[in-house]
Chains A and B, each alone.
Chain A
Amino acid sequence: ATLVRVQRGGSPSAQTEGKLTLLCDAKTDGSFLVHHFLSFYLKANCKVCLVALIQSFSHYNIVGQKLGVSLTAARERGQLVVLEGLKSGVDVFFRPREEPHPLQFLREANAGDLQPLYAFVRDALQPVDSGEAAWRCPVLLVDDLSVLLSLGVGPVAVLDFVHYCRATVCQEWKGNVVCLVHDSGDTEDEESDVLLNGLSHQSHLILRAEGLATGFCKDVHGQLRILWRRPLQPTTHRDRSLTYQYKIQDKSVSFFAKGMSPAVL
């Protein structure tokens, strides 16, 4: 798949470590990218922390099995740490208030900051010098950040959370962070725009899945725009973006150049 080529050869190398990748979708569902990155990093033997706020663990597991990884097995051997937002969100209300919980902001009247969530991520991915076979770089996957806005967290608080994850996971531990946000598009959602624009500035790589401008199509599910930001050297934008169209199949996603779908030719 082209996404693997985007990551330069299918394994995290020095060039692709310490990066924040932003997944963004507009008028379509970009969650296939989350599943891709999850299976990609698990196969690459990285330590992965998945903050799953949208779907249950079994959903990711089922899709992961189609992509060739077993999330249950990864969790059991300690490679994967999952925060299941749907389940543990309820726990927040049944626990004593003094115990810190990653989704503590759900209890607060004024959803303050996401420091407890950051602390959870930091503890999950902290490199451990235990002498055993170390995993490759730590990876944080968040699915997704837009739902935090719906839960009452301000966009600046979400940006701060991503900032800290970037400072710790990317900068300090040379790991990668992958986050999914939704582009509200034409709807005048200022908070969503601030979040998306702020994240775009922080990101090294932006993958944007868009629905086709002409509407739904059976054979071409959407368009993927890839933009590299923060290159090592300031170059002209010409080299920095690519566009592909894609079709999601049962076990994979096929990419092709615009207008070159096999169904259309």
Chain B
Amino acid sequence: RHLSPRLRPSEGLARPPPPPTDNCPNGPFRPGHGKSVERDVVPTCVYQHSGGAIPHSVEWEGRSLLKALVKKSALRGEQVHVLGCEVSEEEFREGFDSNINSRLVYHDLFRDPLSWSKPGKALPGGPLEALRALDKRTVSGPATIALDSLSWLLHHLPCPTLCQTLHALSRQDSCPGDTPPGEQVRVLGLLHEELHGPGPLGALSSLAQTEVTLSGMMGQASAQILCRRPRQRPTHQTQWFSILPDFSLELQAEPPLESQPRSDPHTPSVDPTTHLTFNLHLSKKEREAKDSLTLPFQFSSEKQQALLRPGLGQATSHIFYEPDAYDDLDQEDPDDDLDV
């Protein structure tokens, strides 16, 4: 099946919040889904696609986009919590400057997620508790939670549990009251589509308000963005982008035109005529002789004149025939009986 990269943001459900009650044990109500402040890309889930066993799609990896979005959130002053399962903290923080790194809290599920190590470097409670603990940490102010990756969580937790936890994560505690503007939690999740079947993918998809699918063409990455808003039709948009080395997101208006594939500057072009057993080259004399040669069936004006002008001694053409003993000369016209 053809897999197109899809970013699956994991946001709150598009249902209206539950009716307010009088007993609200916790703080002010915070809506589950993040409202997009960016003008263009609003991902809430960065989903990486990597279709086949190799390359054409393993190239369009989503972690760079996830990091670019994390950087955007951090630059807006939000606190970012990253649940890191697939890469080490060192690797995730690479490329970020200290300003961003100070706003980034990395919950390490990479080193010892399943408690296999003897001195026990694992987060207590395993992956599920680590995930649940995330909502208790976003105490105040807008925050972004990045899950790297949802695929890892989906492999290690039952799908319904994961979906419920994600839903709870984005809902937080609900309480009536004024929603402070900007008190929002945005949940980003990275998902490798080809590792899962359609069931779990569909379940996560239904949780997400925005799905961003990555693909690309000729070296240029693009994102298919599907936005589902409550009581509105889903909108679909394609955005070409590139990610700069410092993980800034650069949006492009249209795909850049590349008329021909650029030759790789690193490999010297190989001349195939160097090690042959036969000679492919022409000397100057040979080249001149070749150029001055007229081809037998080339119809030039000289030839035309020669044909039109009968040459000397060529008035008519004669056929001389000597029949031998076995020849049967029949004077009748064989086509006589044709009724043409």
Interface residues, chain A, with chain B CB atoms under 8 Å away: 24, 26, 113, 115, 118-119, 156, 159-160, 163-164, 167, 171-172, 183, 193-194, 196-198, 200-202, 206, 208, 225, 227, 229-230, 232-234, 236-238, 240-242, 257, 260, 262, 265
Of A113, A163, A241, A257, the contact of B267 (CB 8 Å cutoff): A257
Interface membership of B129, Cβ < 8 A: no
**Separation of A26 and B242 alpha carbons in the complex (Å):** 32
Instruction: Kindly provide the distance from the CB of A166 to the nearest chain B CB, expressed in whole angstroms.
Output: 9
A-B residue pairs in contact (CB < 8 Å), sample of 8: A113-B114, A193-B53, A193-B194, A197-B53, A197-B194, A197-B195, A229-B61, A238-B264
Segment among B177-185, B268-276, B309-317 that sits at the interface with chain A: B268-276
Residues of B within 8 Å of A202, CB to CB, are 86
Nearest CB in chain B to that of A190: its residue: B197
> Are A200 and B54 in contact, with the CB atoms below 8 A?
yes
> Are A241 and B270 in contact, with the CB atoms below 8 A?
no
Interface membership of B64, Cβ < 8 A: yes
Instruction: Kindly provide the distance from the CB of A10 to the nearest chain B CB, expressed in whole angstroms.
Output: 18
Interface membership of B303, Cβ < 8 A: no
Of B95, B112, B244, the contact of A167 (CB 8 Å cutoff): B112
> Are A233 and B192 in contact, with the CB atoms below 8 A?
no
B94-126 vs A: 1/0 string, CB under 8 Å?
A: 110000000000000011111010000000000
Instruction: Kindly provide the distance from the CB of B280 to the nearest chain A CB, expressed in whole angstroms.
Output: 11
Nearest CB in chain A to that of B265: its residue: A239
| Contact flag A200-B112 (CB < 8 Å), given A206-B58, A229-B61, A265-B276 | no
Interface residues, chain B, with chain A CB atoms under 8 Å away: 48, 50, 53-55, 58-61, 64, 86, 88, 90-91, 94-95, 110-114, 116, 151, 155-156, 192, 194-195, 216, 219-220, 242-245, 247, 262, 264, 267, 270, 272, 275-276
> Are B216 and A237 in contact, with the CB atoms below 8 A?
yes
Residues of B within 8 Å of A197, CB to CB, are 50, 53, 192, 194-195
**Separation of A193 and B194 alpha carbons in the complex (Å):** 8
Residues of B within 8 Å of A227, CB to CB, are 54-55, 58-59
| Contact flag A237-B219 (CB < 8 Å), given A113-B114, A201-B86 | yes
**Separation of A161 and B21 alpha carbons in the complex (Å):** 49
Of B61, B111, B151, B220, the contact of A236 (CB 8 Å cutoff): B220
> Are A24 and B116 in contact, with the CB atoms below 8 A?
no
> Are A265 and B272 in contact, with the CB atoms below 8 A?
yes
By DSSP majority rule, is chain B's interface helix, strand, loop, or mixed?
loop
> Are A234 and B64 in contact, with the CB atoms below 8 A?
yes
> Are B262 and A238 in contact, with the CB atoms below 8 A?
yes
Of B88, B216, B245, the contact of A171 (CB 8 Å cutoff): B88
Residues of A within 8 Å of B116, CB to CB, are 115, 118-119, 164
> Are A262 and B275 in contact, with the CB atoms below 8 A?
yes
> Are A233 and B245 in contact, with the CB atoms below 8 A?
yes
> Are A225 and B195 in contact, with the CB atoms below 8 A?
no
Instruction: Kindly provide the distance from the CB of B306 to the nearest chain A CB, expressed in whole angstroms.
Output: 45
**Separation of A242 and B94 alpha carbons in the complex (Å):** 26
**Separation of A137 and B64 alpha carbons in the complex (Å):** 29
**Separation of A210 and B247 alpha carbons in the complex (Å):** 34
> Are A167 and B272 in contact, with the CB atoms below 8 A?
no
Residues of B within 8 Å of A241, CB to CB, are 55, 59
Instruction: Kindly provide the distance from the CB of A246 to the nearest chain B CB, expressed in whole angstroms.
Output: 16
**Separation of A233 and B94 alpha carbons in the complex (Å):** 9
Residues of B within 8 Å of A262, CB to CB, are 275
> Are B58 and A201 in contact, with the CB atoms below 8 A?
yes
Instruction: Kindly provide the distance from the CB of B174 to the nearest chain A CB, expressed in whole angstroms.
Output: 34
> Are B194 and A225 in contact, with the CB atoms below 8 A?
no
Residues of A within 8 Å of B64, CB to CB, are 234
**Separation of A103 and B88 alpha carbons in the complex (Å):** 28
Nearest CB in chain A to that of B269: its residue: A257
Nearest CB in chain B to that of A210: its residue: B54
- Interface core residue of A159, A197, A206 (most chain B CB under 10 Å): A197
**Separation of A237 and B64 alpha carbons in the complex (Å):** 13
Residues of A within 8 Å of B88, CB to CB, are 167, 171
> Are B53 and A24 in contact, with the CB atoms below 8 A?
yes
Residues of A within 8 Å of B110, CB to CB, are 163, 167, 171
Residues of A within 8 Å of B155, CB to CB, are 156, 159
**Separation of A74 and B156 alpha carbons in the complex (Å):** 39
**Separation of A241 and B50 alpha carbons in the complex (Å):** 15
> Are B243 and A234 in contact, with the CB atoms below 8 A?
yes
> Are A233 and B95 in contact, with the CB atoms below 8 A?
yes
**Separation of A6 and B177 alpha carbons in the complex (Å):** 61
> Are B219 and A206 in contact, with the CB atoms below 8 A?
no
Of B53, B195, B220, the contact of A183 (CB 8 Å cutoff): B53
- Interface core residue of A200, A232, A241 (most chain B CB under 10 Å): A200
| Contact flag A208-B219 (CB < 8 Å), given A160-B114, A198-B195, A202-B86 | no
Instruction: Kindly provide the distance from the CB of A256 to the nearest chain B CB, expressed in whole angstroms.
Output: 9
- Interface core residue of B48, B194, B244 (most chain A CB under 10 Å): B194
Nearest CB in chain B to that of A118: its residue: B116
Nearest CB in chain A to that of B3: its residue: A197
Of A167, A200, A265, the contact of B53 (CB 8 Å cutoff): A200
Of A167, A225, A257, the contact of B55 (CB 8 Å cutoff): A225
Nearest CB in chain B to that of A226: its residue: B55
Instruction: Kindly provide the distance from the CB of B112 to the nearest chain A CB, expressed in whole angstroms.
Output: 7
Residues of B within 8 Å of A196, CB to CB, are 53
Known: A26-B53, A225-B54. 19 other contacts (CB 8 A): A24-B53, A24-B54, A160-B114, A167-B111, A171-B88, A183-B53, A193-B53, A197-B53, A227-B59, A229-B58, A229-B59, A229-B61, A230-B91, A234-B64, A234-B245, A236-B242, A237-B60, A237-B219, A238-B262
